[in-house]
């Protein structure tokens, strides 16, 4: 079994401020972890992924995330928010399995607003 | 670039109608998925398929069925649409343990 918890539904930051979006997971097998972004009226786009190599993962648009096994966390950060970062962000987990056990489970998502 | 194409961006149907949502991917991915997205509930998995003619129920399969006769195509079927199936439907595909690639979504309204 696997699950993802994204606490809170909305985060608001000022332009230029640090962005921190939290994600905690549970998985009965070693996980692969993902962050996706969704802009209005679009599908989801991959920001970054953890696949058991380096624990600090860098993604697109200046985002990065750190896998912490002891905390079962995979928080997303960006040092300086830009207006174009306003979107909905989803954390997701899947087990390192193939076939029928390879489904991806998403969190409920967090809406990021960026104030001028 | 990977392309996942959903047949319709917007559909309006009446209660009781049969609805087909089609999804095609061009990357020879083994896995294909159907999710629905509702405000405050995130993405919930309806069905997924890890090979041709193979399917697995997701978290909310009730009221839905799927078909995968060819590797590149995965169809979601609502046998008798109901108003509580009004939602955004997202199709995705992936290699066996890789990231998912999503289509643009199909927004279904059932009146």
Q: How far apart are CA B92 and CA A2, in angstroms?
A: 19
Q: How far apart are CA A56 and CA A82, in angstroms?
A: 22
- A102 and B43: CB-CB below 8 Å? no
Q: How far apart are CA B63 and CA B57, in angstroms?
A: 12
Q: Which two tokens stand for residue A36?
A: 């996706």
Q: How far apart are CA B89 and CA B105, in angstroms?
A: 6
**Which residues, listed in sequence order, are joined to residue A110 by a DSSP beta bridge?**
A89
pLDDT score for A96: 66
Instruction: Suggest the residue from B3, B42, B44, B56 to mutate for an interface test with chain A (most A CBs closer than 10 A).
Output: B42
Is a pLDDT exceeding 90 seen at residue B33? yes
Mean pLDDT over B53-78 rounds to 95
Note whether A62 and A89 are within 8 A (CB). no
| Closest-approach residue (CA) in chain B for A42 | B104
**How do residues A56-113 score in pLDDT, each as one tens digit?**
999 999 999 999 999 999 999 999 999 999 999 999 998 766 665 667 889 999 999 9
Q: What is the bridge-based pairing of β-strands B106-110 and B10-13?
A: parallel
**Which residues, listed in sequence order, are joined to residue A11 by a DSSP beta bridge?**
A112
Mean pLDDT over A14-19 rounds to 97
Q: Which two tokens stand for residue B64?
A: 């839905």
- Measure B10 CA to nearest chain A CA, in Å: 11
pLDDT score for A99: 62
Rg, chain A, Cα only: 14
| Closest-approach residue (CA) in chain A for B49 | A100
- Measure A70 CA to nearest chain B CA, in Å: 23
Q: How far apart are CA B48 and CA A110, in angstroms?
A: 24
Instruction: Suggest the residue from A8, A46, A106 to mutate for an interface test with chain B (most B CBs closer than 10 A).
Output: A106
Mean pLDDT of chain B: 93
Note whether A89 and A76 are within 8 A (CB). yes
**How do residues A40-61 score in pLDDT, each as one tens digit?**
888 899 999 998 778 999 999 9
| Closest-approach residue (CA) in chain A for B103 | A43
Report how far apart, in Å, the C-alpha atoms of B33 and of each of A46, A63, A77, A90, B6 are. Answer: 16, 26, 28, 16, 12
pLDDT score for B46: 96
* The 3-state secondary structure of B8-41, one letter per residue: CCEEEECCCCCEEEEEEECCCCCEEEEEEEECCC
């Amino acid at each position: 079994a696997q699950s993802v918890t994204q606490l809170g539904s909305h985060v608001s930051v000022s332009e230029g401020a640090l962005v921190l979006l939290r994600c905690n997971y549970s998985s009965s097998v070693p996980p692969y972890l993902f962050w996706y972004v969704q802009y209005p009226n679009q599908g989801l786009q991959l920001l970054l992924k953890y696949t058991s190599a380096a624990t600090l993962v860098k993604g697109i648009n200046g985002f990065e995330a750190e896998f912490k096994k002891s905390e079962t966390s995979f928080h997303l950060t960006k040092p300086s928010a830009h207006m174009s970062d306003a979107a909905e962000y989803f954390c997701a987990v899947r087990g390192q399995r193939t076939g029928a056990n390879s489904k991806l489970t998403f969190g409920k998502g967090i809406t990021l607003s960026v104030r001028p | 670039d990977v392309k996942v194409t959903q047949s319709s961006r917007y559909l309006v149907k009446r209660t009781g109608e049969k609805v087909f949502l089609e999804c095609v991917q061009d990357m020879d991915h083994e896995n294909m998925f159907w999710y629905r997205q509702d405000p405050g509930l995130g993405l919930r998995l309806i069905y997924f398929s890890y090979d041709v003619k193979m399917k697995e129920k997701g978290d909310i399969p009730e009221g839905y069925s799927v078909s995968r006769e060819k590797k590149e195509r995965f169809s979601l079927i609502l046998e008798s649409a109901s108003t509580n199936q009004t939602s955004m439907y997202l199709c995705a595909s992936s290699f066996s343990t890789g990231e998912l690639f999503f289509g643009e979504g199909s927004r279904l309204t059932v009146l």
